Amino acid sequence: VEEHSLDRDCTTLSRHILQQLHSFNAEAQDLSAIMNRIALAAKIISRRLSRAGLMEGALGFTGNINVQGESVKKMDIYANDVFISVFKQSGLVCRLASEEMEKPYYIPENCPIGRYTLIYDPIDGSSNIDINLNIGSIFSIRKQEGDDIDGDARDLLQNGHKQIAAGYILYGPSTMLVYSIGTGVHSFTLDPSLGEFILSNENIKVPTHGPIYSVNEGNFWQWEDSIRDYIRYVHRHEGYTARYSGALVGDFHRILHQGGVFIYPGTVKKPEGKLRLLYESAPLAFLMEQAGGRASNGNMELMDVVPDALHARTPLIIGSKEDVALVESFIQDRA
Ligand code: AHG
Ligand code: MN
Ligand code: MN
Ligand code: MN
């Protein structure tokens, strides 16, 4: 029996993007080139991860603290630098903004023509790196607005509708790339023997309701009553199952396929919670909406939230429409 069909082998990521673009104007060409560079970054990071446990100096901490106040891992920096190197050569991206850089990184030689900004979380789920569990990378592409003469990237402080593409890479048993350019959500699996991302699922749709609830219940003691009420509701009703991996990308990927809800709420002390709007919540909200689901901060659509800073945080409720609405109803009941 053949492992997989030849037709499937030929639907590579780059081929697929061209099909999705319909027209082939300048912006479409740019987008397809950018996506190809992201795929290259994914392969480079994936290659290192697959051998990290055998390599000297790939795992562990750098000893530095990032702008988030978190201890940085060597893989966080490696992955951060891979995206920079890949886009230095592309000519298309003028700025990169990431979780691991306090300020955006400018590539001056690209800036006159490169009108795009890549916003990314180089490694999502950093606590999983050293124990060989699933991690990810999240990316979002926005068009630069204005000249950014001061280099303060204020034009990035806009809502999620300004994204022209978003996606993530999941480094799991296999490496997958999931993306949307506003024409549905599509997933690809890296075939290491070909060095290509091959189409796995086209037009993924999230169920309107699902059994998964994904939340760090260890934080119960610091939550608002509304979130506690929702979790008590789940505990008392049949049909729910808990899954939480410590990497948003992995938990999101499960919910995308099986339905349910991921919640990272604010706490009494930190009302904005932990997740960052521009490179975690907004790209995943873009994907979830494209898959027929929803994302909310509890009071409004996540896609409408405007960050007040590059590293702004937001509560996140994301997944199946009915499950997101149920969590919101608990929040509104207590408001
Ligand atoms: P990152 O590793 O990029 O800093 O993100 C970690 C995030 C996210 O991946 C995950 O869902 C969440 O933090 C886990 O946080 P807790 O350990 O507080 O549950
Ligand atoms: Mn981090
Ligand atoms: Mn993250
Ligand atoms: Mn990260």
The first and second tokens of residue 179, run together, are 């993306």
Stretch 148-168: mean pLDDT, rounded? 94
Integer Cα distance of 13 and 35 in angstroms: 8
Minimal CA–CA distance to 79: which of 102, 58, 63? 58
Distance between Cα 25 and ligand 3 center (Å): 33
Minimal CA–CA distance to 320: which of 186, 171, 213, 172? 213
**Residue 148: pLDDT band by 50, 70, 90 thresholds?**
confident
- Binding site membership of 243 for ligand 1 (Cβ less than 6 Å): no
Query: With a cut of 0.85, is the ipTM above it?
Result: yes
- The preferred substitution site among 99, 120, 127 for testing ligand 1, maximizing ligand atoms within 8 Å of CB, is 127
- Binding site membership of 248 for ligand 1 (Cβ less than 6 Å): yes
Whether residue 332 has pLDDT greater than 90: yes
Q: Please report the beta strands in the chain, taking only residues with DSSP state E, as ranges in sequence order.
A: 61-65, 71-73, 93-98, 105-106, 116-124, 135-143, 163-171, 175-180, 186-191, 196-201, 212-214, 241-242, 260-264, 294-296, 316-319
Whether residue 2 has pLDDT greater than 80: no
Whether residue 322 has pLDDT greater than 70: yes
- Please state, for a pLDDT cut of 90, what percent of the chain lies above it: 88
Integer Cα distance of 148 and 66 in angstroms: 24
Whether residue 282 has pLDDT greater than 90: yes
CA distances from 273 to 265, 268, 281, 298 (A): 5, 9, 11, 12
> What is residue 149's predicted lDDT score, i.e. its pLDDT?
82
Distance between Cα 263 and ligand 1 center (Å): 12
Entry field: residues in the chain: 335
- Report the chain's mean pLDDT, rounded to a whole number: 95
Mark out the alpha helices in the chain (DSSP H runs). Answer: 6-10, 13-21, 26-51, 74-88, 225-235, 248-258, 282-290, 321-334
Whether residue 4 has pLDDT greater than 70: no
Minimal CA–CA distance to 157: which of 311, 313, 310? 310
The first and second tokens of residue 16, run together, are 């697929």
Stretch 261-277: mean pLDDT, rounded? 96
Stretch 186-209: mean pLDDT, rounded? 97
What's the pLDDT tens digit per position in 103-116?
999 998 888 777 89
Count of C-beta atoms within a 10 Å radius of residue 11: 18
**Residue 5: pLDDT band by 50, 70, 90 thresholds?**
confident
- Binding site membership of 274 for ligand 1 (Cβ less than 6 Å): yes
What's the pLDDT tens digit per position in 17-67?
999 988 778 888 999 999 999 999 999 999 999 999 999 999 999 999 999
Whether residue 274 has pLDDT greater than 90: yes
The first and second tokens of residue 141, run together, are 């592409």
Q: Which of 109-123, 183-197, 302-316 has the lowest mean pLDDT?
A: 109-123
**Tokens 């219940």 — which residue?**
217
If you take atom 15 of ligand 1, which residue's CA is the nearest one?
Answer: 246
Neighbouring residues of 137: CB distance < 8 A, sequence distance ≥ 6: 41, 42, 45, 79, 120, 121, 122, 123, 124, 168, 169, 171, 249
Half-sphere exposure (CA, 13 Å, Cβ side) for 147? 3
The first and second tokens of residue 306, run together, are 């405007």
- The preferred substitution site among 74, 124, 263 for testing ligand 1, maximizing ligand atoms within 8 Å of CB, is 124
